[in-house]
Amino acid sequence: MTKQSGDNQMKNSSELEKTIHTDFGKDMTYGDYLQLDRVLTSQIRLSDHHDEMLFIVIHQVSELWMKQILHELSAAMASIQEDQLEPAFKMLSRVSRIQQQLIKSWDVLSTLTPAEYMQFRHKLGYSSGFQSYQNRMIEFMLGHKNEHVLSVYQHEAELSSKMKQLLDAPSIYDAAIAAMANRGLPVDEAALNRNWAEAYQPNESVEQAWLAVYRDVNKYWDLYELAEKLVDIASQQQQWRFNHMNTVERIIGQKPGTGGSSGVGYLRRALDHRFFPELWSLRTQL
């Protein structure tokens, strides 16, 4: 290649293609569509410490991913309730992939050292991740109900009402159990018509119904696939909780949380909860 041809190639590569639109006086841009002026000006530091920006961005991005999880879970649940299981599989797979993003976010936050965090922690006041209403909604939709946590949101009437509706509604696991019953698998009435606001308790008939599904995969392929999608989500949710606990301990040790919780102690106790218990216990019975 001659020097002249090389120069021409560099010049050509630096020029925009003629078909690329550049006049946005009347047209919507990428930034307009995503409302980036609002999104990218929402990182308001309360201190002048460099690392507070990381702390804000990690949590804002996590909340955006949680919004998408709620979007997918709501659609998947509607599909299951209509006995259309296959469309739900893509949505539930997407939830698992999003959870992986959330899990990895703790690795980024763990670059924040205790000494750095202490420089702006006092600026948080009583605000805490414990108050994340989207995370609470996800847990409600997965069947982990706790009416007492609603007191945290009582100062916001509209949000409190929305949380109460989710508390009183069936979870996606309840919908899966009902789907088994609709296929003729014997499930106790107590598991099909219970107080949805109460935390789910393991039921022997539900375990036996899932066992029937796993023992005859060809007959119940869609129910089997649904079960495994739910197990994926349960596993990822536990991994997210575990990484959360480890990151918090790495940064603040055994200090209480800013919202008044015991901090690491509270997060460690949360690990004792198991989503979709019969989908785990059946594995011993197979």
Binding residue ranges for substrate: 55-59, 117, 121, 258
Distances (CA, A) of 42 to 36, 106, 180, 193, 199: 10, 21, 45, 44, 36
Length of the chain: 286
**How far apart (Å, rounded) are the C-alpha atoms in residues 242 and 41?**
32
Rounding to the nearest 10 degrees, give the CA dihedral for residues 57, 63, 64, 70. Answer: 170
Could you tell me where the DSSP H helices lie in the chain? 3-14, 30-34, 36-39, 52-81, 85-109, 114-117, 133-141, 157-167, 172-182, 189-192, 204-215, 221-252, 264-270, 278-285
Q: How far is CA 83 from the centre of its chain?
A: 24
Terminal C-alpha separation, the chain: 68
Whether 241 and 271 have beta carbons less than 8 Å apart is answered as: yes
Annotated binding-site residue numbers for heme: 244
Annotated binding-site residue numbers: 55-59, 117, 121, 244, 258
**How far apart (Å, rounded) are the C-alpha atoms in residues 231 and 47?**
42
